[in-house]
Structure 1
């Protein structure tokens, strides 16, 4: 089933500003209008509008602000190019899994302190969701666009959109790998906390080192296979 702009806007508003009540309606000439449906203070409204507007523009859409409402007007070459830049920056930041392991260990310790009765499976589910939302960010952004057709009549814009899809697929694949790293980091840290009674820097360093060694071993195992394919 295809997804239209209104559905994507609704997903983004719910993710970025879940506490803000908005009315989302399609425009007669194409596009979407977003208007506040509840009472918010000026500061809260300004923050919500800018958070939503930033994410909508990151999709690749032109967005205009008119007093208390936002108008989503459709694909913009400038904004799609901005999306491409941000995807490339994200790819650079995802080159090392160690940062994700560090984030997972820290988040696991924080969760453990607040929920000492939580099992490993409960901790894993909660912290993986935190890492996906707060550390990686792109999995949720990509999920917002599931089913949305990316095409334009203008050939140059259409090429930008297709390039975005290609980069998104790469980011999605790498993020999947980072989610596995996060899960390994959570398990390692939970054992340090729950089974060995360690905490703080020692526990985090031990957990991260275990994940780092596993990553190095996996990389070493894959390199001979890649070399063998190259020299066939």
Structure 2
């Protein structure tokens, strides 16, 4: 048996389920959204095709090829994950989410600027995929992946966001950071302070640290109370 025939481990399945539920608890997804974890160069594990907050402790995800047709029952927009994994070998997880304030800004073709610490991880800017249509073809998915480029996130006009990270814990945290950056952006604009300062690339590079268990602490916070908490910490 080759390594590609190996099933995902129990911990990998638990990680994907816990990530899905954490995103739902944080109101970053609702009926729509999905998350995945890279297994190797050729495969990834995507969560069950149902509302993420409703995924139970024993509902396994599906293994999907990085190249090839989507398996039966896998949601069509998982094509986005495929194309990101193809273009970005360092990416270990992809999340398709529907954050409320990100959605609001994107409907006006605006993405959050790096104005505070949590926004620093998206400096110099969050790219915008300027098309409100659902992603149903490989051509569209390739376009979203190309627009993401080397960034941590891409926002889709009136259609949520996609985040890519080295691991699924960090991807969940970056989703939360992206929505917090959108909250700051909306509040500043509502107060007439949109011309206020943003972090310079140098300031953002210093602030966007992983030291001090930055990602780990937020991951633990977002997973608090999860039925599989002990399996993923």
Q: TM-score, normalised by structure 1?
A: 0.25
Structure showing greater Rg: 1
In proportion to residue count, which structure has more helix?
Answer: 1
Q: Which has the higher contact order (CA 8 A, sep 6+)?
A: 2
Q: TM-score, normalised by structure 2?
A: 0.25
